[in-house]
Every structure is written in C-alpha cells, then in structure tokens.
Amino acid sequence: MSGFVEKPEPVQVPGLTHLHTGKVRDLYRNEAGDL
C-alpha cells in the first residue's frame, strides 16, 4: 500500500475556473482574476 489516495474530480462552479486541488481545499479563479 503506497499511502496515496486518488483525488476526486473538482466541483464545477459556474463563473469560476479550477486552478489546483490541495489536501484540504480546491483553488478557483473568477473571471476578474481574483482567487
């Protein structure tokens, strides 16, 4: 057993672009460029 777990697909949020999936949360950017 390697200890690695597959990360689930990120949630698609209207108006936001998924940037990164971390251990605790996903990071998104809106159309204005804000995180």
Specify if 25 maps to a domain: yes
pLDDT (tens digit per residue) in 19-34: 999 888 999 999 999 9
With beta carbons less than 8 A apart as the criterion, state whether 18 and 28 touch.
yes
33 within some domain: yes
Closest CA to 26 of 34, 12, 5: 12
For residue 8, what pLDDT band results from cuts at 50, 70 and 90? confident
Is residue 5 situated within a structural domain?
Answer: no
Check whether 13 has a pLDDT greater than 90. yes
Domain assignment present for 6? no
Q: How many domains does the chain have?
A: 1
* Within-domain flag for 4: no
Q: Is residue 3 part of a domain?
A: no
Q: Would the pTM of this model clear 0.85, i.e. be above it? A: no
Report if residue 1 sits inside a domain. Answer: no
Domain that holds residue 16: 11-35
